[in-house]
Amino acid sequence: MNINLNIWRQTKESTAGKFVRYRLENIDPNISFLEMLDILNNKLIKEKQEPVVFDHDCREGICGSCGFMINGQPHGPQKATTVCQLHMRAFQNEDELTLEPFRAASFPVIKDLSVDRRSFDRIILSGGYVDINTGEAPEANLIKVPKTNADEAFLSAACIGCGACVAACKNSSAMLFTSSKISHLSLLPQGKKEAKERVLKMVATMDDEGFGSCTNTGACSAECPKEISQANIVRLNKELIKSVID
């Protein structure tokens, strides 16, 4: 298959960027989207041109490193799929694909399709942890956890912090990410000790980082590759109100 690419090229945050057009021919539809970009970069290097910079690591949809916009959608058109899990067979021969970085003030462009998502790390550092004794592992059934809580905590903890929720939101809100990190701890007994301090600090850090407000459009969960539920945002608001009242 042949593919026409319009890729955002920008050397650094302080310089202007622009779209540059590339064409690739005879691409195997069974390769991944990032492998297609590898082919493009090999071609550019052979032509002594600057390769396209994009984030990636495990390429298995686990680490959350990869992520950019494909035709206006975070991670592309396939539901519950990271860009590294996306295959070229999801597109048609001679398709026009526009690739650009996640657009958010809190995700400044590093270069080309790569953005700085350390703002997420700072939200986690502010309160996304538990204070428990380490050492010998306790008996697994020593602390009783209702199955519904365990299941909900697991689903919330599935968030990989890729930033698609922020990129999809018209306000560049980080509520889905922050709420998922608060939820999976607040649902478990181990997370109760710092519950009040956690939600206050993480929400304050989220605001300090310049993320927008949530207006419940649902774009975040709709584009999330792990299908994190908006129920987490409801839980965050409940935890926040409880912490302020207490």
pLDDT category, 31, cuts 50, 70, 90?
very high
Rounded to an integer, the average pLDDT of 159-163 is 97
Nearest to 52 by CA among 66, 37, 72, 32: 37
Copy the structure tokens of residue 227.
């299908």
| Contact by Cβ (8 Å): 175, 202 | no
Q: Is 200 helix (H, G, I), strand (E, B) or coil?
A: helix
Rounded to an integer, the average pLDDT of 224-236 is 96
Interval 167-223: pLDDT, tens: 999 999 999 999 999 999 999 998 988 999 999 999 999 999 999 999 999 999 999
How many angstroms separate the Cα of 245 from the Cα of each of 17, 54, 150, 238?
Answer: 47, 44, 27, 11
Rounded to an integer, the average pLDDT of 14-35 is 97
How many angstroms separate the Cα of 97 from the Cα of each of 3, 4, 23, 100, 104?
Answer: 8, 6, 10, 10, 21
Interval 112-128: pLDDT, tens: 999 999 999 999 999 99
Looking at residue 76, its pLDDT comes to 97
Looking at residue 117, its pLDDT comes to 97
Q: Is 168 helix (H, G, I), strand (E, B) or coil?
A: helix
Interval 4-14: pLDDT, tens: 999 999 999 99
Close Cβ partners of 49 (under 8 Å, ≥ 6 residues apart) = none
Q: Is 5 helix (H, G, I), strand (E, B) or coil?
A: strand
How many angstroms separate the Cα of 74 from the Cα of each of 78, 99, 122, 230?
Answer: 10, 10, 22, 18
Domains in the chain, ordered, with CATH?
3-103 (3.10.20.30), 117-245 (1.10.1060.10)
